[in-house]
Amino acid sequence: MAESTVPPYTITEVRRILDNIRSMWRDRDENGFSLHTSVSDTDTIVTFATKFMRGHQRKRHARRARNKKKKK
């Protein structure tokens, strides 16, 4: 089973939050846009984006390490 990029969120929750952030960005002329807008009970856009980026890099490095072991 696939692991979420941003624990403790599920993959579905991560996708929903990313979709909400995209919508907020698209509608920024009408509503403004702030990185400090809440996207969950515990995270703002900036904290979620940082966790997402770090999680994505962690998974990428783990995948590369697995692929290197397979080639040997």
Predicted local distance difference test score (pLDDT) of residue 1? 65
Q: List the pLDDT tens digit at each of the 72 positions of the chain.
A: 678 999 999 999 999 999 999 999 999 998 899 999 999 999 999 999 999 999 999 998 988 888 877 776
Predicted local distance difference test score (pLDDT) of residue 54? 96
Predicted local distance difference test score (pLDDT) of residue 10? 96
Q: And the tokens for 1? A: 């089973």
Rounded CA-CA distance 68/72 in Å is 7
Contacts of 4 (CB under 8 A, 6+ apart): 10, 11, 13, 14, 55
Predicted local distance difference test score (pLDDT) of residue 3? 86
